[in-house]
Amino acid sequence: MTNKMTQTIAAGLTGISLMVASAGCSPTQTNVAPQPTATPQPTATQQPTATQPLNATPQPTATPQSNAIQTFSCTGSKNNGWNYDAKFLDGRFTQITWTRSGQPTYVSPLTFDRNNDQGQPIYRGAFQAATAISLVDLGKGNVRPGSQVSVGTEEWGWARGTCAIAK
């Protein structure tokens, strides 16, 4: 061995190595056998896949087609006099409209958060951009006349609402 130290660094599947010596660096070609590549074989169960962007909001499981084209209104009252009307449109809850005698009407947009351990979709929003709101779809995404929601606000507690076909 000579007084020059030489190291070879493999550059992965490219088949190129770098010779690093005390005098400098120079790329050299090495004889690396190409790696075999697997050819995907179609199968009867193979399905196309799609990915969502990392910032995409997860959505609840699909609702029956008959409900996806109907609009539902789920109404209830809080113990402080505010009445609410949660709108279910195109398979998801989209907003809550708040009304109270002598007060202006407020609309709280909702976004899907997740399904809870019971498989019930949870939606989140805010009242006047200050009070956190949660809506739990007790019908597990299968909204129909007579199904219920539970609407919680951080300062007013929880109240149940009953759904009907919107007029």
Would you call 143 exposed, middle or buried from its count of C-beta atoms within 10 A (0-12, 13-18, 19+)? buried
What 3-state class would DSSP assign to 80? coil
Give me the percent of the chain exceeding a pLDDT of 70.
Answer: 59
pLDDT at residue 88 in the model: 97
- Token pair listed for 142: 């299968």
Considering only residues 164 and 36, tell me which one the structure prediction assigns the higher pLDDT. Answer: 164
Rg of the chain's alpha carbons, rounded to an integer?
30
In whole angstroms, give the CA distance from residue 53 to residue 98. 33
pLDDT of 1 above 90? no
Chain-centre distance of CA 2, in angstroms?
62
Residue type, 167: K
Look at residue 70 in the predicted model and tell me its pLDDT.
82
Sign of CA dihedral 92, 144, 70, 107: negative
